[in-house]
């Protein structure tokens, strides 16, 4: 089936050129193009692009002196902070492979990822490392480099940032390494099509996480795909540098919603997640965006920063938008300067999308879709309001094909019918690390079988219904939790929710909901059941509602329904 270009943005190229450059060239080229532009603002600390590159080069020199070389794996165990960006690009400059280690992982999960990846170098935070120090002897790690958020603050600002540096014995200090080494990284030949740049582990929402192998070409391609999706440019490599090429007569600053080297982005999406590394680190770096970086999410701090820093773009999972919308004084904030607000990692409730679109009076709330196995993203709504569709994740981006197949037979399904979403494109992974059988299960004839259920409409827009593993089978009927969740979100007392199937010997599974109420709000299970069941078919009706203090989510903002199913099993057994 040919790709549907019916609603493709006017003057946007249908295919792109993807220059063969390593990932770190994105930083190097921006630092040469706009050396004095602010790259990172972090709690009062400011780094220009020239300064970020120099620190990266210093750390790459240090890593090389410590023995890190091409093909090694370097685990970065940090929250969002300048040191993460420095360590990430420095790792790639040595030819080593970056493997992110979420600060949210339990020690058992850390052991699994370090052993599975074979990482011999670990970069960790003084506040985090003590929690995993005892398990390091059980892993291949030979050297630990520690750093501190306190290193970002000088003596003058310290009284306003009362966070002292914690001594971490038996580790190397990142600040000292930066001071001791000159910015003379080794010359390493990178085969962009074959050298593994990222060994990014899947979230493990349905089981043990697997290492996803991504080449430099995978990552650069996905960065450029989304960069062009925002501004309608194509690319050429001139004198070794990536240049943006626009159609004749187009003024990039006047005729495009997002402008290179001009935007300011709020960044709270964790860089240890695929959406963060690609969409909220590499993409802003490539486009010369100033990043206002947060190590954690605080709704008031975040929404205040929009006006404080004249932010023009932001984004994250729905777990970012829900608490913003539910702030008591949300309507009092001026959010009209936001041009683009991205949403991914999980379905964005339509009611939340509509509220955000109204607040961003001239901007676009752009829901997109992807997964670690396709680097980050494959489908996105266009950056024009008239081309976005509520409830849809949009159109397959440049050089990316999507199809819907019958999950049981693998046969292609026509528009309107629900089945498993499959993706083909240059951003699709090489495979799973040391797991050929698992790779063969999801990569077939160049297609990535995602395990997500969805459909395509007549205009080429895709809609994600649910994960195959989250599908509820009630008396033989398919019940999609997201549809019920959308109804629950319309109740004024609901902050967030998750619908799962409860095993039932008579009907198979019954739909039940876990609900997190808004602060100060009150509701009874019966009230929420009545509200929901009046709006859904009989076989989709909720049978029970359980209140929970906090819906469990991954670092990427995906609801961990596996944990809720385990909780339900414990409580009802």
CA distances from 501 to 481, 534, 563 (A): 8, 19, 13
CATH of domain 471-572: 3.30.300.30
Which pTM does this prediction carry? 0.87
d(CA 542, CA 545): 7
> In this predicted model, what pLDDT tens digit does every residue of 314-373 receive, in sequence order?
998 887 888 898 898 998 999 999 999 998 877 788 888 888 888 888 899 999 999 999
Domain with CATH 3.40.50.980 in the chain: 45-214
Q: pLDDT at position 326, please?
A: 87
User: Exposure string (b/e) for 53-87, b if CB count within 10 Å is 16 or more?
Assistant: bbbbbbbbbbbbebebeeebbbbbbbbbbbbbbbb
At 329, list the tokens. 């004084």
More reliable by pLDDT, 163 or 59: 59
DSSP symbols for 193-240: TTSEEEEEEP--TTSS--EEEEEHHHHHHHHHHHHHHHH--EEEEETT
**How many residues comprise the chain?**
573
CA distances from 37 to 74, 87, 291 (A): 29, 20, 11
> In this predicted model, what pLDDT tens digit does every residue of 272-328 receive, in sequence order?
999 999 999 999 999 999 999 999 899 999 999 999 999 999 998 887 888 898 898
CATH of domain 45-214: 3.40.50.980
Average pLDDT rounded to a whole number, residues 126-137 = 96
Number of Cβ within a 10 Å radius of residue 101:
23
Q: pLDDT at position 60, please?
A: 98
Q: pLDDT at position 494, please?
A: 94
Average pLDDT rounded to a whole number, residues 8-36 = 97
Domain with CATH 3.30.300.30 in the chain: 471-572
User: Exposure string (b/e) for 169-181, b if CB count within 10 Å is 16 or more?
Assistant: eebbbbeebbeeb
> In this predicted model, what pLDDT tens digit does every residue of 368-398 receive, in sequence order?
999 999 999 999 999 999 999 988 999 999 9
Statement: residue 501 has pLDDT above 50: yes
> In this predicted model, what pLDDT tens digit does every residue of 241-252 receive, in sequence order?
999 999 999 999
């Amino acid at each position: 089936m040919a790709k549907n270009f019916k609603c493709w943005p006017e003057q946007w190229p249908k295919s792109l050129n993807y220059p063969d450059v390593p990932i770190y060239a994105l930083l190097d080229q921006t630092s040469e193009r706009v050396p004095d532009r602010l790259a990172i603002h972090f709690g009062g600390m400011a780094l220009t692009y020239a300064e970020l590159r120099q620190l990266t080069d210093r750390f790459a020199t240090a890593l090389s002196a410590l023995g890190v070389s091409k093909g090694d794996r370097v685990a970065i165990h940090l929250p969002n902070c300048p040191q993460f960006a420095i360590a990430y690009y420095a790792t790639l400059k040595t030819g080593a492979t970056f493997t992110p280690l979420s600060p949210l992982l339990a020690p058992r999960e850390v052991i699994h990822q370090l052993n599975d990846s074979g990482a011999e170098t670990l970069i960790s935070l003084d506040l985090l490392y003590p929690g995993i120090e005892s398990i390091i002897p059980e892993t291949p790690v030979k050297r630990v480099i520690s750093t501190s958020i306190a290193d970002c603050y000088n003596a003058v600002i310290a009284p306003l940032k009362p966070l002292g540096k914690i001594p971490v014995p038996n580790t190397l200090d990142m600040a000292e390494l930066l001071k001791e080494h000159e910015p003379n990284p080794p010359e390493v030949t990178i085969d962009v099509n074959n050298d593994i740049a990222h060994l990014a582990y899947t979230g493990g929402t349905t089981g043990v996480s697997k290492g996803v192998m991504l080449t430099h070409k995978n990552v650069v391609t996905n960065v450029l795909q989304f960069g062009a999706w925002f501004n309608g440019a194509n690319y050429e490599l001139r004198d070794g540098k990536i240049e943006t090429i626009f159609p004749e007569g187009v003024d990039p600053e006047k005729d495009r919603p997002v402008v290179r080297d001009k935007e300011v982005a709020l960044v709270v999406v964790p860089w240890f997640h695929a959406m963060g590394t690609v969409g909220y680190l590499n993409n802003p770096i490539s486009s010369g965006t100033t990043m206002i970086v947060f190590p954690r999410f605080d709704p008031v701090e975040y929404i205040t920063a929009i006006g404080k820093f004249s932010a023009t773009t932001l984004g994250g999972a729905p777990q970012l938008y829900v608490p913003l919308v539910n702030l008591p004084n949300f309507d009092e904030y001026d959010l009209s300067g936001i041009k683009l607000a991205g949403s991914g990692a999980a379905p964005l409730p339509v009611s939340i999308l509509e509220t955000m679109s109204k607040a961003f009076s001239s901007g676009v709330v752009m829901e997109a879709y992807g997964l670690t196995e396709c680097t980050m993203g494959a489908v996105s709504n266009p950056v024009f309001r008239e081309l976005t569709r509520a409830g849809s994740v949009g159109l397959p981006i440049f050089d990316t094909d999507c199809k819907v197949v019958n999950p049981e037979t693998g046969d292609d399904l026509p528009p309107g019918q629900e089945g498993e979403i499959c993706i083909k494109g240059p951003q699709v992974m090489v495979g799973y690390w040391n797991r050929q059988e698992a790779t063969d299960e999801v990569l077939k004839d160049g297609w990535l079988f995602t395990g997500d259920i969805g459909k395509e409409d007549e205009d080429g827009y895709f809609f994600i219904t649910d994960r195959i593993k989250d599908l509820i089978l009630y008396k033989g009927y398919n019940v999609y939790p997201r549809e019920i969740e959308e109804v629950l979100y319309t109740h004024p007392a609901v902050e967030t929710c998750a619908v799962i199937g409860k095993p039932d010997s008579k009907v198979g599974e019954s739909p039940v909901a876990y609900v997190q109420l808004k602060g100060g709000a009150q509701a009874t299970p019966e009230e929420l059941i009545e509200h929901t069941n009046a709006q859904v078919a009989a076989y989709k009706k909720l049978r029970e509602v359980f209140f929970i203090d906090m819906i469990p989510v991954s670092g990427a903002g995906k609801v961990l329904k596996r944990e809720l199913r385990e909780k339900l099993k414990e409580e009802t057994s």
